[in-house]
Chain A
Amino acid sequence: MLAPLGKMLILASLLVSAAGALLGFAAGRTRSREALLWARRFAYAFAALMGLATLTMEYALLTHDFRVSYVEHVGSRLVPTWVTIVSLWSSLEGSILFWGFVLGIYIAVATYLTRGQYEDYQPDAIGVWLSSAAFFSFLIAGPASPFGVVANPPLDGPGPNPLLQNHVLMAIHPPFLYLGYVGMTIPFGFACAALLRGRLGHSLLKPLRASLMVPWIFQTIAIMLGGWWAYEVLGWGGYWAWDPVENASLLPWLTATAALHSIVVVERRGILKGWTVTLIQATFLLVILGTFMTRSGVFNSVHSFTQSAIGPTILAFLAASILFVVVLLAFRIDRLETEGRIEGAASREAMFLVNNLLFVLLTFTVLIGTVFPLVVEALKGKQMSVGRPYFDSMVVPIGAALLFLVGIGPALPWGRATREQLKNALLPPLFGAGLFAVIGYILNIRAPWTLVTLAFGGYAAQVTLGQMLLTVLQRTKRGESAAAAFVDGNLRRGRRRFASYIVHGAVTVAIIAIAVSSSMRQTTELAFTKGQTLRASGYDLTFLGFEQRQEPHRAVTGARFRVARDGKVVATLEPKMNQYQMMREPVGSPAVYSTAAGDLYLSLANLDVANESVFITVYAAPLVMWIWVSVILMGLGALFSLVPARRATAVQSRESVPAAAETA
């Protein structure tokens, strides 16, 4: 019987994580080597047990064992195998189990990589990680158990939510999000350990930064995949709606991004230690808050899992975590001694500080907008929602200011700068700013904030490119070949620096693409009869007719359109309506024709198969593709910055030297 087996594995993982947490904290207090060794073993044991429990569930899903309550809940013999596999995270209980699985992997890898090093911090860090693990084991064992025994198993089940079956991105977006969300536990553990030790030494910065960067990369990609999924599936032509749960994924990302920047200041100047630790802890707390939002049923959204009783349990954990963090900070923050100070307002460290304040401001803005409806309802008893206008009017200026910093921050030198240095650093990029704004104006962009964004983007682009090429220029002046200078200066020695400029460049592209695509979007509503050709946003659309097919789990009706531009056929698009067996309302699938210049997006509004007529909404927006591309580039850039120095050198010397020799 799989259900009792799974239950047993979860109970065992609860036991080892609780024991390991106690041992970890004990080892932190007593410096007992023995206790630390056992804490580590329990950490590995937790990961192994969670892995086995997850495998058990996957096996139950794949064999359609409806005696297991979760399988009865989401399983179906009709759906394709890939849907069955990803059903693990399609509903509440399974998603918490998946959370435990990911947490196990993170804890095991972090414990393994820090073994023998950072002995000062590791015991307490393991204590914190396993405390969180114990809480989630408890959730899986009790309030959200997927391993219930079904007394009278049905022959078939309803299958997962059809919306989640509608696009393959749904198989990718949640795992990335969990890898981001759950991974924030690891830097949280290090940050707490630093406070418990009363010391944030230089040696801890490396694991702190790396353990924050890895989940940050996943979180970045996950947010983008979520937006992309919404764009490809939901059919309203947009990718972000300020839905409470979208905000929940954004909030920890904002504080984590701020922390990644403040760590640089700690490294360089030895200041902002307490602040950095606070940001990392806030990130973890926001992750738990986000989990509460999606799992409690307090917020209504695409992402809300059905009503569940685990809301109060997660809220209690959140309250306890906040209290722990506040007390820890209050008692220990003053012990994290500051080694330097900020030299002047026009310095790079000052800009880092402004960057951090803006990120925190953005975090509060989004947080307030998200919970405000709850406040109003609690006080006045009225249901309301905070819409786009609030978020747009608040977030656009802060976003533009951050883009401005992407330009101005790296242009400024560390420490005190002379007037001459400032002039040389800050004036030339005005050319890029003007160039971008003028190009935008010529291309008919008139929205003031979009033009401002373009100007800031141009400034940032010039600074970023300049910084990328700086070392190459310096070295070629000394007589090195450009290729050798690039490889050695950017890819080998200055890798972290160079990688951060890749990320900055990608961010610049992303913000420009978001600003331009959202302000230049055209919407046309058209009614067609078969064979009719109509024009929208420079495209000629011809309705060719309907195509109907029956798939095992859904009936699909597609409306085929021929798309032509300047008399040349460029694509055939087929926006669809899918009628799932388990759902009353049909789910639409829009069809998108993407080019580097912009997207044409067709969404079915209404269709009449008998009369062969169809009503569609056509969205045309420039540069949309660049949003996805640039965010992937952000992730790759960040990943590049994590490649350890030694291994990269070996790779470089094998691959690049012959190439450099040829050019020489």
Chain B
Amino acid sequence: MNRTVFAIGIVIAAAVVGVLFAGLGKDPAVIQSPLIGRSAPTFALQEVGTGRTIDIAQLRGRPLVINFWATWCGPCWEEHPVLVATARRLQPNVQFLGVVFQDQEDKILGFLQQRGTSYPTLVDVKGKTALAYGVGGVPETFFLDANGTIVAKYAGPMDADTLQANLMKAMR
């Protein structure tokens, strides 16, 4: 056996695999938003279907999940059942809100009727709320603790585990 070749090979292999393995645990979708640790921008928007206004300032006192989405976004379809099921399970300890922007109300209603929902969906008419939260694409989800402070942000569709992991941060 050629010990030199073996030693060099193992060192390079261990380094490369080790670094990649360390990278696996993390997720590039977890974005370090400047908003994390700060009080969430407030907004009051109308709910789809009912037209009633929901003001997030009045929702303090329990963790809040704000999910930005749209019906034209494929990954949002994937994520939708996960959100609906989790919201239903955690009611009334955690509040979920959907915020839809750049979309049409009839499409949103059709989508929600076909696929069901368990929490209010608001329409962000001119995208001002999305702008205030620095949303770069949909879906994007913000996690607020009971004091209204943003504790985490996730870009991209979440599965049940990802959602749970981020919720833990908000429930601490």
Taking Cβ atoms with an 8 Å cutoff, the residues of A that contact B are: 73, 157-159, 289, 292, 296-300, 304, 306-307, 311-312, 315, 318-319, 322-323, 325-327, 329-331, 333-334, 371, 374-375, 377-378, 383, 581-585
A300-B16 contact in complex given A326-B10, A330-B2, C-beta closer than 8 Å: no
Of the A-B pairs whose beta carbons lie under 8 Å apart in the complex, a sample of 17, sorted by A's number, is: A157-B74, A158-B74, A296-B23, A296-B24, A298-B26, A307-B29, A307-B156, A315-B17, A318-B20, A322-B17, A325-B9, A329-B5, A331-B1, A374-B20, A374-B22, A584-B138, A585-B137
Interface residue B90 (Cβ < 8 Å from any Cβ of A): no
Known: A323-B13, A330-B1. 20 other contacts (CB 8 A): A289-B20, A297-B29, A307-B27, A315-B20, A315-B24, A322-B9, A322-B17, A326-B10, A329-B6, A330-B5, A334-B2, A371-B20, A375-B19, A377-B26, A378-B19, A378-B22, A582-B72, A584-B73, A584-B102, A584-B138
Interface residue B28 (Cβ < 8 Å from any Cβ of A): yes
Interface residue B32 (Cβ < 8 Å from any Cβ of A): yes
Interface residue B75 (Cβ < 8 Å from any Cβ of A): yes
Q: B30: nearest residue on chain A (CB-CB)?
A: A383
Interface residue B148 (Cβ < 8 Å from any Cβ of A): no
**Interface positions of B from 52 to 93, Cβ below 8 Å from A:** 70, 72-75, 77
Q: A585: nearest residue on chain B (CB-CB)?
A: B137
- Indicate which residue in B6, B32, B138 contacts A383 across the interface (CB closer than 8 Å): B32
- By a CB distance below 8 angstroms, the chain B residues around A307 are 27, 29, 156-157
Complex CA gap A266/B27 in Å reads 45
- By a CB distance below 8 angstroms, the chain A residues around B74 are 73, 157-159, 582
- By a CB distance below 8 angstroms, the chain B residues around A375 are 19
- By a CB distance below 8 angstroms, the chain A residues around B32 are 383
Please count how many residues in chain B sit with their CB below 8 Å of the partner chain's CB atoms. 32
* Contact between A298 and B2, CB atoms less than 8 A apart: no
- Indicate which residue in B13, B23, B73, B156 contacts A298 across the interface (CB closer than 8 Å): B23
Complex CA gap A286/B32 in Å reads 30
- By a CB distance below 8 angstroms, the chain A residues around B102 are 584
Closest 7 CB pairs of A and B: A158-B74, A326-B9, A330-B6, A378-B22, A300-B28, A298-B23, A322-B13
CB distance from A74 to the nearest CB of B (A): 8
- Residue among A327, A331, A584 with max Cβ neighbours from chain B (10 Å): A584
- By a CB distance below 8 angstroms, the chain A residues around B1 are 330-331
CB distance from A577 to the nearest CB of B (A): 15
- By a CB distance below 8 angstroms, the chain B residues around A327 are 6
- By a CB distance below 8 angstroms, the chain A residues around B137 are 584-585
CB distance from A337 to the nearest CB of B (A): 14
- By a CB distance below 8 angstroms, the chain A residues around B70 are 584
Complex CA gap A73/B75 in Å reads 9
* Contact between B28 and A297, CB atoms less than 8 A apart: yes
* Contact between B9 and A306, CB atoms less than 8 A apart: no
- By a CB distance below 8 angstroms, the chain A residues around B3 are 330
Complex CA gap A252/B24 in Å reads 22
CB distance from B69 to the nearest CB of A (A): 11
- By a CB distance below 8 angstroms, the chain A residues around B9 are 322, 325-326, 329-330
Q: A334: nearest residue on chain B (CB-CB)?
A: B2
- By a CB distance below 8 angstroms, the chain A residues around B72 are 158, 581-583
- Indicate which residue in B13, B23, B73 contacts A374 across the interface (CB closer than 8 Å): B23
- By a CB distance below 8 angstroms, the chain B residues around A326 are 5-6, 9-10, 13
Complex CA gap A326/B10 in Å reads 7
CB distance from B33 to the nearest CB of A (A): 12
Complex CA gap A502/B20 in Å reads 39
* Contact between A371 and B16, CB atoms less than 8 A apart: yes
Complex CA gap A328/B72 in Å reads 52
CB distance from B64 to the nearest CB of A (A): 23
* Contact between A333 and B17, CB atoms less than 8 A apart: no
- Indicate which residue in B2, B10, B24, B75 contacts A311 across the interface (CB closer than 8 Å): B24
Q: Contact string, B5-46, partner A, CB cutoff 8 A, digits 1/0?
A: 110011001001101111110111100100000000000000
Complex CA gap A116/B22 in Å reads 47
Complex CA gap A334/B1 in Å reads 8
- Residue among B10, B16, B77 with max Cβ neighbours from chain A (10 Å): B16
CB distance from B5 to the nearest CB of A (A): 5
- By a CB distance below 8 angstroms, the chain A residues around B13 are 319, 322-323, 326
Q: A379: nearest residue on chain B (CB-CB)?
A: B22
Q: Contact string, B156-171, partner A, CB cutoff 8 A, digits 1/0?
A: 1100000000000000
Complex CA gap A465/B13 in Å reads 43
- Residue among B22, B102, B157 with max Cβ neighbours from chain A (10 Å): B22
Q: A580: nearest residue on chain B (CB-CB)?
A: B72
Q: A309: nearest residue on chain B (CB-CB)?
A: B159
- By a CB distance below 8 angstroms, the chain B residues around A299 are 23, 28
- By a CB distance below 8 angstroms, the chain B residues around A312 are 24
- Indicate which residue in B17, B19, B75 contacts A306 across the interface (CB closer than 8 Å): B75
- By a CB distance below 8 angstroms, the chain A residues around B156 are 306-307
CB distance from A277 to the nearest CB of B (A): 11
- By a CB distance below 8 angstroms, the chain A residues around B21 are 315
Q: B135: nearest residue on chain A (CB-CB)?
A: A584
Complex CA gap A318/B23 in Å reads 15
CB distance from B120 to the nearest CB of A (A): 22
- Indicate which residue in A296, A322, A333 contacts B16 across the interface (CB closer than 8 Å): A322
- By a CB distance below 8 angstroms, the chain B residues around A298 are 20, 23-24, 26, 28
- By a CB distance below 8 angstroms, the chain A residues around B73 are 158, 582, 584
* Contact between A158 and B77, CB atoms less than 8 A apart: yes
Complex CA gap A383/B32 in Å reads 8
CB distance from A644 to the nearest CB of B (A): 36
Complex CA gap A107/B41 in Å reads 58
CB distance from B121 to the nearest CB of A (A): 17
CB distance from A514 to the nearest CB of B (A): 29
* Contact between A318 and B10, CB atoms less than 8 A apart: no
- By a CB distance below 8 angstroms, the chain A residues around B26 are 298, 377
Q: A371: nearest residue on chain B (CB-CB)?
A: B19
Q: B114: nearest residue on chain A (CB-CB)?
A: A154
Complex CA gap A383/B9 in Å reads 29
Q: Contact string, B122-163, partner A, CB cutoff 8 A, digits 1/0?
A: 000000000000000110000000000000000011000000
* Contact between A377 and B2, CB atoms less than 8 A apart: no
Complex CA gap A73/B74 in Å reads 7
CB distance from A278 to the nearest CB of B (A): 8
- By a CB distance below 8 angstroms, the chain A residues around B28 are 297-300, 304
Complex CA gap A158/B16 in Å reads 37
* Contact between A292 and B2, CB atoms less than 8 A apart: no
Q: B21: nearest residue on chain A (CB-CB)?
A: A315
Q: Contact string, B92-129, partner A, CB cutoff 8 A, digits 1/0?
A: 00000000001000000000000000000000000000
- By a CB distance below 8 angstroms, the chain A residues around B16 are 289, 322, 371
- Indicate which residue in A73, A159, A374 contacts B19 across the interface (CB closer than 8 Å): A374
- By a CB distance below 8 angstroms, the chain B residues around A296 are 20, 23-24
- By a CB distance below 8 angstroms, the chain B residues around A304 are 28
